[in-house]
Amino acid sequence: MKVKQNLRVRIDADAMERIWHWTDLAAGEFSCLGTVSDDLAVSNVQLHDQVNTAASTELDQDALAKFLVTHPLPERVRAWIHSHGRLGVFWSEQDEQCIEGLANDTYLVSIVVNKKREFKARIDVWQPFRLTFDDLPLEIRLPDQNLRGECERLFNAHVVEMAPLLMPDWRSGKPLQPGQQPQQSHRNGFGWPDFDDDYADWR
Q: Which helix (H) or strand (E) holds 46?
A: strand 41-47
Nearer to Zn ion, 79 or 185 (CB): 79
92 interacts with Zn ion by CB under 5 A: yes
Residue nearest to Zn ion (CB): 95
Select the span of 68-76, 95-103, 170-178, 194-202 touching Zn ion (CB under 5 A).
95-103
Residue 12 binds to Zn ion (criterion: CB under 5 A): no
Q: Rounded to an integer, what is the distance from CA 121 to the centroid of its chain?
A: 10
Closer Cβ to Zn ion, 12 or 95, answer by number: 95
Residue 95 as a binder of Zn ion (CB under 5 A): the answer is yes
In sequence order, the β-bridge partners of residue 34 are 79
Least distance in Å: CB of 73 to Zn ion?
26
C-alpha to C-alpha distance for 8 and 136, rounded to whole angstroms = 5
- Compute the Cα dihedral for 138, 84, 27, 86 and give only its sign: negative
Helix (H) / strand (E) element for 133: namely: strand 131-133
Residues that bind Zn ion (CB under 5 A): 92, 95
